Structures are given as C-alpha cells and as structure tokens.
Copies of this chain bind each other. A is one copy, B any other.
C-alpha cells in the first residue's frame, strides 16, 4: 500500500477494546517437544533476510548513507498499467454478485494455465493441465521437496540459489553442515556440481554422482550464465541414463537474448526427451515485476514417472491441493494480462529490456575497472570477481556469495532504476579504481 494510503487508513483506525483482561506474561516455561533436528542443521538465517538485516544494521549505523541495494534480486520498476489495471478490475469486480469468486481451482485458473502453455511453451507440447499455477518459484521448490520426501538424493549447481538446499535440509535429505575452509556451508549427502568460469559454468557430468533429483537453474542465479542447447542436451541425457528427475528453474528465462550463434533454450522442454525426466519451475517475479504480487508456475509433464510407474504429476497435484490452496486470484488476473495479448507481452518485455540495459552498464563498468566479469547478457545478474581470495561476506554488506563456489565472486543485480545503477557504478568506480 502506498505510504500515504497506509497513514490515511491508520489515522481513521479506532481499535476495538472491550474483550478479555490482559494476560500476564509469566516466565517462559519450555514444552517437552523436541525441536526438529533438521531445523537444527540449518546454518545461519536464510540468505536474503540475512542481507536485509545487514543492510538495516548498516543504515542504522550510518543514517545518512543512501544505500543502493544491488544485493537481493528485487525488482524496482513499475509494472505496466495494462497489467495492474487488470488486477484492479478483477479486485473491484469481487464486490459485485457477478464478479465475485471464491476458491479457484488449487492448480490455477484454466485461462492462465492455457496462456502459459501456449505463450511460454509454444510448439513444446505442454498441455494446460500440466501447468500448475503457484505463488512463486521458491514456494514451488518447498512443495516439490515436500513431495519428494526425505529419502531422495539431490544435486545442485555450485553456486546456486539457496532454496533448493535449504528446503532439502528441512525435509531431512542431508546430513549435517560442514563448514569448509573455502567458506560457506556444505551439507553431507548433497552432490555439489561446480559451475565456474573454468568449465563454462557447466559441470563435468562424467564426474557427477548419480542422484534422484538434480536442481538446475538457467539462466543461473547467481552467475547469470544461460546454459547452451548442447549443455542442456547433456543434462537431459545424463538424467535419462541415470533415471533422475531434473527440476529446471527457468525464473530468468525472459532475460535470454534471442538468436545469436550460441543457441540458449528458454525452457528445458526445447530439448528432446525432457518430458520424461524434467519438471520446470518459473515465475512472474522477474518477468513482470511480480516479486511482491507473488505468482509463478510449475510444469509437471504427464510422462514423468516414478520407478513404480506412478505419475509424478499425481503426487504434485495432491501436494498442491493439500498443502496449498492456489495463488491469489487477483495475482492470476494480472498474470493473464501479461500473457494474453500482444500489448501485454510487449509491455512486460520492455521492463525486462530496461533491466538488461542496466546489466550492460554494470558489465561495462566492471570491465573498465579491469575486473573478471560474467553474466548480464542473458540474465539480470552480473557475476564479478571483485576481490579475488577474500570472503564475500567480508567484502561488502550488500554483496553476497552464493554457496561455497561463490567465494571471491559477488552477484550484482541489475534490478534498479537506470539512474541508481549509474550512480552505483560511479560509486564503485571511485571506490575500486
């Protein structure tokens, strides 16, 4: 809510009063419930709240500092009005007898599922019934991990988005954390697939141990690397040979530059044979500025089967109906407006194009400073070796390392206005030059 509206509302707020007498706070007495040992295993807080806390501490200490946050990948630019008008219209209609709708299908509105199948996966044979609408990719990761349960083994890229591992830890898929000298935490039982400049950000699969599930994010968060068609073919072949399931996170697919010599798929389903081995999760967050509105989706193809022949989609449907109750209907109306018309698609594409230009400015700045820099072409993230040999957390409160493989590098996000990115580049230049 815009600040002025909040204060307007709070001003009028008269709080009800006459209920029970105040309950006295006694000294805390413990229950005898044992804390979940998997929660105990988790190291530190989750990465992004940790960044926010460090930022707030910094601002408290230096109240005059005008922090430009390029740490959390949070969108900053207005959502095109064709999209917000659709949400507003939907919301207002909820006050009419004709427009009111209660529970929608837990799997999402048919029209939105169909729009995603048609627009995002043209010619890839994805059916609307294989698309499950969600409140965001992070939430789908949690639901997928609930579905897989504790007995599966998992592999992740290194570095990668922390949600795959942390949700796996909560579900009991891992052993304890072991801090490495290199910094960061690894958990016993997880296969970390190193993705670094030396291997073109793609693991040497001949040295990767077979696991049940492989989480693979492309364009990668944080390195900004988009896997090539050949790399994804290798990944799908590897999964097929091993009978593994790939969870392909394409949350940044809309940032992939089209064409060019190095052909980079925007979906795993562009690769033949993927339907039998891959789930894809994706999001409106970075595609349409929906980080706060919350909307995403998962594709679970009908051909994806467990060893006993059960359709994975059957279990995912059970999880979606039992542990979730559908994404907000208002958010879904906005999602449909992003996809259903040429005008909507062009409007959201223009915001993505703006962030990509920011990324270009950042890449140019770091290159001018003589830094080793990756990403930015096919993603909103620029991956830069800022202070080789130093721990990321030590470098800068606003800068972060993603997993053990990320040390020495920091991810810089292009999510900001052009002015602030330019200002940040000027500050970085005077600081580092």
Contact = CB atoms under 8 A, between A and B. Distances in A.
Q: How large is the interface on A (under 10, 10 to 19, 20 to 34, 35 or more residues)?
A: 35 or more
Contacts of A343: 12
A292 B103 contact: yes
Contacts of A417: 97
B102 A30 contact: no
A33 B306 contact: yes
A118 B94 CA distance: 27
A387 to B, nearest CB: 28
A373 to B, nearest CB: 24
Interface stretch (A15-23, A60-68, A189-197, A389-397): A15-23
Determine the main DSSP class of A at the interface with B.
loop
A33 B1 contact: no
Contact of A23 (B94, B269, B325): B269
A46 B322 contact: yes
Interface stretch (A217-225, A273-281, A364-372): A273-281
Counted per complex, copies of this chain come to: 2
A326 interface: yes
A34 interface: yes
Interface string A292-332: 11100000001111111110000100110111111111111
Nearest to A48: B321
B31 A243 contact: yes
Q: Indicate the member of A30, A37, A42, A106 with the most B CB atoms within 10 Å.
A: A30
23 contacts: A1-B86, A1-B89, A5-B90, A9-B336, A12-B340, A12-B341, A12-B343, A13-B346, A13-B349, A16-B345, A19-B267, A22-B123, A23-B270, A23-B272, A25-B303, A26-B303, A28-B302, A33-B243, A33-B245, A42-B322, A80-B95, A139-B325, A142-B323
Task: Rank and list the top 10 A-B pairs by shortest CB-CB distance, nearest first.
Answer: A32-B243, A36-B149, A142-B323, A88-B88, A13-B349, A292-B329, A87-B91, A35-B306, A74-B102, A20-B270
